[in-house]
């Protein structure tokens, strides 16, 4: 991504707001975008990074601004239903439905969560990566549950740092085929891309793959299935699905890593991101966000329970 740096000496008779002054110097750039650039740390006042758009500069001060020349991502806003759990001026937390792709890609150019977010909050287009605006983590297409998106560049950097340092707590509900070897466990197995099938991940061997760690504990045991709560400590692609399959208890409905013929007719995989705990920008205490278990998954658990009672 190309960038251009502009320098301006404040020429006024009095103190001026930095965002207002820069928007006057750069008439093709909206004041809202100037504000986002300030929050992202792309503006300096006499060599010192400006953190607040409302900060004032005096006559003779030197203002520097770095403009990122973004390419057109081609992303199209779409008025699609959004199940919003929480929203403020920094982030938006949603309950992603199963079957919905997070962002456009090969074979999925529309109908994604990003398309819906662009219609709900257009300025998110300028946050984060050009083709993946606002995204700080992802869920697989068939996985439902809680996701957080950044609405500003400052929030984006704040959240990315938390995910990278593994300071975010995530818990998933997974119904698996069979029974794990122990009621609780920790899986430490590196994950790499399958050299034969590029859409598939595998547990790496002989030093291959990236480190991956998942913890689980048993919630309910059925005759042929087990309900687990899984806590992924790292965030590798398909991590939970790969790790549980490696353990010998693949997720129900996961035809990529488990049975080709699902043991339960569900039309999706039984994996739900239930809980997400993190710190909001500028806050010290953890916030907890939770997505209710979808009715389709609740119905499966109820049916398994009734089967157990009839035995």
Active site residues: 140
Q: Which of 164, 161, 84, 72 is nearest to 121 (CA)?
A: 84
For residue 139 the two structure tokens come to 């869920």
CA pair distance 300, 271, nearest whole angstrom: 12
- DSSP characters over 239-289: HHHHHHHHTT-PBTT-TTTS-SS-SS--SS-SEEEEEEEEPPTT--S-EEE
Residue 34 DSSP label: H
Question: In Å, how far are 63, 77, 125, 141 from 104, measured between CA atoms?
Answer: 37, 11, 13, 11
CA pair distance 34, 294, nearest whole angstrom: 41
Residue 166 DSSP label: T
For residue 203 the two structure tokens come to 């547990």
């Amino acid at each position: 991504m190309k960038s251009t740096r502009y320098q301006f000496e404040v020429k006024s008779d009095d103190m001026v707001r930095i965002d207002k002054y820069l928007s006057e110097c750069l008439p093709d750039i909206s004041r809202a975008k100037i504000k986002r650039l300030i929050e992202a740390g792309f503006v300096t006042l006499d060599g010192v990074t400006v953190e607040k758009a409302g900060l004032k500069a005096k006559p003779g001060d030197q203002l520097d601004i770095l403009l990122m020349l973004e390419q057109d991502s081609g992303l199209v806003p779409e008025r699609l239903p959004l199940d919003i759990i929480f929203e403020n001026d920094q982030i938006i937390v949603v309950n992603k439905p199963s079957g919905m792709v997070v962002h456009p890609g090969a074979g999925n150019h529309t109908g994604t969560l990003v398309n819906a977010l662009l219609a709900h909050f257009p300025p998110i287009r300028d946050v984060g990566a050009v083709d993946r605006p606002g995204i700080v983590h992802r869920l697989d297409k068939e996985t439902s549950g809680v996701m957080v998106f950044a609405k500003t560049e400052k929030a984006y950097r704040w959240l990315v740092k938390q995910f990278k340092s593994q300071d975010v707590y995530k818990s998933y509900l997974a119904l698996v085929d069979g029974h794990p070897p122990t009621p609780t466990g920790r899986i430490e197995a590196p994950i790499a891309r399958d050299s034969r099938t590029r859409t598939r991940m595998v547990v790496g061997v002989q030093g291959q793959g990236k480190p991956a760690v998942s913890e689980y504990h048993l919630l309910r045991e059925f005759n042929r299935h087990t309900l687990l709560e899984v806590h992924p400590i790292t965030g590798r692609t398909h991590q939970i699905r790969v790790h549980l399959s490696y353990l010998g208890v693949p997720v129900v409905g996961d035809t990529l890593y488990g049975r080709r013929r699902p043991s339960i007719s569900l039309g999706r995989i039984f994996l739900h991101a239930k809980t997400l705990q993190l710190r909001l920008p500028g806050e010290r205490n953890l916030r907890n966000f939770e997505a209710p278990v979808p009715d389709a998954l609740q119905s499966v658990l109820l049916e398994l329970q009734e089967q157990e009672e009839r035995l």
